[in-house]
Amino acid sequence: MYSDKYWEKEEIMPLKEIEELQMKRLRFTLKNAYENVPFYHRKFREAGIKPEDIKKREDMAKVPLTVKEDLRENYPFGLFAVDKKEIIRIHTSSGTSGKPKVVGYTRDDLENWINMVARCLYMVGIRDHDVFQNMVSYTFFTGGLGFHYAAERIGAMVVPSGTGQTEKQIQYMFDFGTTVIHATPSYAMHIKEVAEGMGIDPREIGLRIGCFGAEPWSDNTRKRLEDAYDIKAYDSYGLSEMNGPGVAFECEEQYGLHIWADHYFIEIIDPETLEPVSDGEKGELVLTPLTKQALPLIRYRTGDITYILDEGKCSCGRTHPRIHRILGRSDDMVVIRGINVFPSQIEDVLMRIPEVGDHFQVLITRNGSLDEITVRVEMVDEVFTGELSDFQRIQQKVQRELYKELNLRTNVELVEKGTIERFKLKSKRVIDMRDNL
């Protein structure tokens, strides 16, 4: 029965109805792209298909994939399906490599997006009595305005503090009675560190919920955040090309992220062969937005590695499928001596070692023809004695645990707290120096 436990009744639609709605909306999206975006008209013709040829789920494999370079090559508005006068907002990716990816929104697009993110926030227990401090960028980054308007839609008091000025952020939390924060996991770790430096126990702040995303993070990092702040920490997933945040989110069960199948057609493919993988097998997430008018990207390769959790209906009552937390990005994966390594694997190991601090960095170099991986790790103050025997013991422990996970020998460099650079937005965990050699 629909109740105030859910933000929208669509969250608990029977699976058969969700699938029917998906196909109905998919037909509209394919038609919109084919008729209004010359890029897609050409791609469909080259593939020898028309939108009406897609009659069932399996037929989507015939449709060409879209990649991020397609957005850059059609910069800024070449993939828009509506006239520019119908666009009421744009956002972009960071554009760290070449031109940014530009995304646009009609009034209906924004309305759908706000409701999707509100659905996520409501799902983890945020209500109109909460004070929501939004500690991410408010410029082109979708996380700022995406969460801001959704929290307002629920009725929470929003503190648009943005990034930086960490001591002031902490003061705002006390002054305004903040109960919910939104940040990257690495910045939340940094806030904890600054608070402790100010003589403040982060648990005294009075937070109850943390929403974290924009970078892969592990369950062991979750435990550290929950213990440090005395909160429940929830994983958020989204990307600018699919609106921004709100694509998928954990419920209070904290086991997998519900991905909203009434707004997205979901596929998992092998990033090498580009073929669909078997149920439960990990691969690259491919998404087709079903309710975006302005930018109907078809079969968009997100670059994010995950898999569908096949665990039956979630005990929260929601019927939408769940994906495993993002394991890493296909382009973040590094190959060391023939072994695939994701930064999140290293993080997962380090965050369960008590002597290790909250920050680390991975350096990859080449010694002759041999790749070498060095993990720089900060130690917690209590164990930083300066005694060589303590250093060697902890160093060997970290090396041993990393070898168990990666099946790869690593160099481990233990450093003092505060040595590794802090990031207010997405952290840069891996520095691959092989291209510079």
Residue with tokens 């409701």: 115
Q: What is the DSSP string of 138-160?
A: -SS-HHHHHHHHHHHHHTPEEE-
From 393, 359, 353, select the one nearest 376 (Cα to Cα). 359
User: Which residues 6+ apart lie within 8 Å of 44 measured at CB?
Assistant: 34, 50, 51, 63, 64
The domain 1-330 belongs to what CATH superfamily?
Answer: ANL, N-terminal domain (3.40.50.12780)
Q: What is the largest CA-CA distance in the chain?
A: 71
Whether the link from the prior residue into 76 is cis, omega within 30° of 0, is yes
Burial class of residue 65 (count of CB atoms within 10 Å of its CB; 0-12, 13-18, 19+)? middle
Phi, psi of 170 (to 5 degrees): -65, -40
Q: Would you kindly state where each structural domain of the chain is located, as residue ranges?
A: 1-330, 334-436
Could you tell me if 136 and 146 are in contact, meaning their C-beta atoms sit under 8 angstroms apart? no
What averages of pLDDT result for each successive group of 10 residues across the chain (437 residues)? 84 96 98 98 97 96 96 96 98 74 97 98 98 95 96 98 94 98 92 95 97 88 96 97 97 97 97 92 96 98 93 90 89 76 86 90 83 90 74 91 90 89 75 71
| Separation between Cα atoms, residue 74 and residue 67, nearest integer Å | 12
372 residue type, one letter: E
Binning the chain into helix, strand and coil, the percentages to the nearest 5 are 35, 25, 40
| Separation between Cα atoms, residue 71 and residue 102, nearest integer Å | 7
pLDDT given for residue 222 in this prediction: 95
pLDDT given for residue 97 in this prediction: 53
From 227, 253, 213, select the one nearest 125 (Cα to Cα). 253
pLDDT given for residue 237 in this prediction: 96
pLDDT given for residue 388 in this prediction: 79
Q: What is the 8-class DSSP label of residue 52?
A: G
Could you tell me if 211 and 300 are in contact, meaning their C-beta atoms sit under 8 angstroms apart? no
The domain 334-436 belongs to what CATH superfamily?
Answer: ANL, C-terminal domain (3.30.300.30)
pLDDT given for residue 1 in this prediction: 45
Q: Which residues pair with 367 in a beta bridge?
A: 370
Q: What is the DSSP string of 73-114?
A: HTTTTTT--S-GGG--EEEE----SSSPPEEEE-HHHHHHHH
* Model confidence, pTM: 0.85
pLDDT given for residue 385 in this prediction: 66
310-335 residues labelled b (16+ CB within 10 A) or e (exposed): eeeebebebbbbbbebbbbbbebbbe
Q: What is the 8-class DSSP label of residue 423?
A: -
